[in-house]
A and B are shown apart, each in its own frame.
Chain A
């Protein structure tokens, strides 16, 4: 078991290194740089040229990559040109927001998926099941960003139940109860709109798992033993169906990353996704590279987690 995990981690390292090179090259290929946007007659072009030289933007890419990767390995991701502060500091600032958003989204996702999946699997082909399956189809078909805008308009602007942007009400002191509550209040709508869409695959998955499991022979045995229906479902079927879902947990993280990019933009929620979009449009290379790399690493780790959980659940897939 441990052998497998260690081997899996060793494979991950070159993956990340390759990813960093790839990401860096892609960023280099973007037309323009952090200074192209400053087409402003009030600024002195000679100063801008000087800045380019100072920031090393005129060096060949391999020199830039070497400079960057050596300091990145020491935990220094460079300076953001736009923010004029360390990239690690900006990311730290934003990561907290995205972390809470993702966490709440995950909680919502499972809070919705588990009861719906169980109901739908247990009473398959009934009206209830059809309603739930109907919802999942609509969920599959609805693009996240349209749905999020719709919810924002409906619950945010029309009913005014939720704030329509930002991560916290201006003017509150960090650490107070009001502050925490306000943060939570700002989180609910974005998290909910993302969860309602991303949950549908989990619902479907759980449903088919349950339908599959309940036809297995050990369930027949349990029934034959005289176990009550609720015991059959709660002890036998549910537990067995949940294991593959748990294994998918890692992939959920990957999915969340894609989702946050849209959600954070729509709700002006200053997290990593918004940071990524902003830094791309402003050609803030050091930030783009760092954020994409972090997203990449998160995905790789997500896959790693899934593999590990899966191998715990199902010994057959352990690689040799």
Chain B
């Protein structure tokens, strides 16, 4: 989620130039193409699609359609789309985020498999048994699971990861709930205890974790399942580990590919791991290169890269017809939202303080504002349909938990006006804007982030939509806020901000208490209520180990949030991944539980397949 004004600006500029350049080139291609073979116009659907330029996520598949015969071997070229070089902290226990994790995923993986709702399954490299009475989970690591150097992955390695990440001297950011919910972990972290009481190594491949907070979240990607190779790291000081060669130059894992060589920040070559526990990979290897977002289309056209980790969706409409590429699509686990400020954060008590007199405290006002905006049109006009109207705070990326039966307020300006009239917001002084029920002037200050071409018109659209129902909404400082400033001010509960537009990536676990809980620092709206506390608690209760019950609870929570509207979601979004046609069995890694694994990826030919080969 990092960004900066300057980088964005430069990127936007380059994008613009590049598009201009692309425009010229495709023109040329067409001309020569027509000389050789007259292009037959295909009538029907495709034309229409091009005409309105609106796409729907339903038309995309998250797994590659395989055409032709796969060969064995070959090298896949993977493009890591990033305008920054990767940092090179190549270990799950030390990295701080994208783009490093894109590199790590090729040579290492979680020990646990997940289904499409991010719940753990038994088809990962470790299987587990839950003992609910004791509050413990016993894991058994696959017998054939070995590190790339041939040493077995052991229970001790797994415990070692907890000992390092939980250590007082550890400097990374990976110490989270997944670790701290283990019994004895908090004491170990503060240095009070020398060992972690909740971890018990039963034998070489079996380990038992006992939890002091035993919640259903644990089984929904809430376990830290990334062992650390003890035989390599045990002689190092903890402070030196992240910068050691074992992390930066010769990183080790147990995944389908083995790191062969690294050019810091720009490329990595992998060869297959013949000993991979799911079976020997089809590919001989993978070459990963960092690709600047401004040239990603050209690289795909030439066949220089087969797949990328992510594709700038705003470039999709221009390139939807790339002949040598199939676009895979999935629903991103994220949503954009409008948040209302309710109070402030009490850092000492570690909880939110709701101010009942806040400007946005009236739920009718918030509901009217939701009715006033047309998010489906926003999605179509600004994002070509690759973002679409959102209804609840659990996006459809968690299909079993997202409740699409909930009726969220839809675009209806007349309804918005009616609600405002009834709630007493009327224009008393005739300036075209409504006053609040006490007759005071009502100016709502709106904070929105800069970045990208769409940010400005989108913010303007929302303000106009609200103005149309008589609400006076003004941009904070009269301009968009740069990313860092924006979050600094929202986080500090700047009194100049009444409402703001933000976006959340939702975690793999559906539990929203990290974003909306009373004690969550990321609860930027500072909304809290007893009912909310209750529902969130219920979702983590013992009863909620029953999936159906948990769904019920979160369905109620989504409903409750639609009634209370501390924030309202605006759009859900799609992720698109282009894949060269010579690649088989590729899948969008962001979409969980597809049941396809990296060792199955195959090619149909050794040579790259460029656009000109297809035409």
Question: Which of A's residues lie within 8 Å of B, judged by CB?
Answer: 30-32, 36-48, 51, 54, 82-86, 89, 93, 145-146, 149-150, 152-153, 157-158, 160, 164-168, 170-173, 265-266, 268, 270, 274-275, 277-278, 280-283
Contact = CB atoms under 8 A, between A and B. Distances in A.
Contacts of B295: 152, 157, 164-165, 268
Contact of A41 (B287, B288, B507): B507
B243 A37 contact: no
A281 B485 contact: no
Contacts of A45: 520-522
A270 B484 contact: no
Interface stretch (B168-176, B201-209, B272-280, B373-381): B168-176
B266 A44 contact: no
Given A31-B482, A41-B515, A166 B266 contact: yes
Contacts of B268: 170
Contact of A40 (B3, B97, B289, B350): B97
Contacts of B483: 32, 37
Interface in B247-306: 248, 260-261, 263-269, 287-292, 294-295, 298-299, 301-302, 304
A281 B17 contact: no
Contacts of A171: 260-261, 267, 269, 287
Contacts of A158: 25
Contact of A83 (B88, B267, B298, B487): B88
Contact of B1 (A39, A164, A168): A39
B292 A165 contact: yes
A160 B21 contact: no
B521 A46 contact: yes
B437 to A, nearest CB: 35
Contacts of A265: 10, 83, 292
Most buried by B among A86, A93, A157, A283: A157
B267 A149 contact: no
A164 B304 contact: yes
A43 B6 contact: no
A164 B172 contact: no
A281 B290 contact: no
A51 B175 CA distance: 11
A173 B21 contact: no
B1 A281 contact: no
B173 A31 contact: no
Given A83-B87, A265-B83, A277 B6 contact: yes
A40 B488 contact: no
Contacts of A167: 263, 266
Interface string B515-538: 100001110000000000000000
A279 to B, nearest CB: 9
A32 B263 contact: no
9 contacts: A31-B484, A48-B173, A84-B87, A93-B265, A153-B18, A168-B263, A170-B261, A170-B263, A171-B260
Contacts of A280: 4, 6-7
A138 B319 CA distance: 33
B84 A281 contact: yes
A48 B347 CA distance: 14
Given A32-B484, A41-B515, A170-B263, A47 B176 contact: yes
Contact of A166 (B14, B290, B294): B290
B89 A84 contact: yes
Given A48-B173, A84-B171, A164-B299, A41 B514 contact: yes
Interface in B223-246: 242-243
Interface string B121-159: 000000000000000000000000000000000000000
Given A31-B482, A153-B298, A41 B522 contact: yes
Contacts of B505: 40-41
Given A32-B484, A145-B14, A277-B6, A165 B291 contact: yes
B379 to A, nearest CB: 23
A26 to B, nearest CB: 13
A41 B506 contact: yes
Interface string B195-227: 000000000000000000000000000000000
B380 to A, nearest CB: 28
B85 A84 contact: no
| Residue picked from A43, A150, A172, A266, most chain B C-beta under 10 Å | A43
B94 interface: yes
Nearest to B83: A265
Nearest to A157: B298
A291 B358 CA distance: 45
Given A36-B488, A170-B268, A171-B261, 16 more contacts: A38-B173, A41-B506, A41-B514, A150-B21, A157-B295, A157-B301, A165-B289, A167-B263, A170-B289, A171-B287, A173-B261, A265-B10, A270-B265, A270-B266, A277-B6, A282-B84
B450 to A, nearest CB: 12
A48 B83 CA distance: 25
A84 B17 contact: no
Nearest to B295: A164
Contacts of A43: 173, 176
A83 B298 CA distance: 30
A171 B2 CA distance: 30
Contacts of A283: 484
A83 B88 CA distance: 7
Nearest to B176: A44
Nearest to A186: B266
Contacts of A160: 302
B604 interface: no
A32 B488 contact: yes
Nearest to A153: B21
Contacts of B172: 84
Contact of A278 (B84, B261, B266): B84
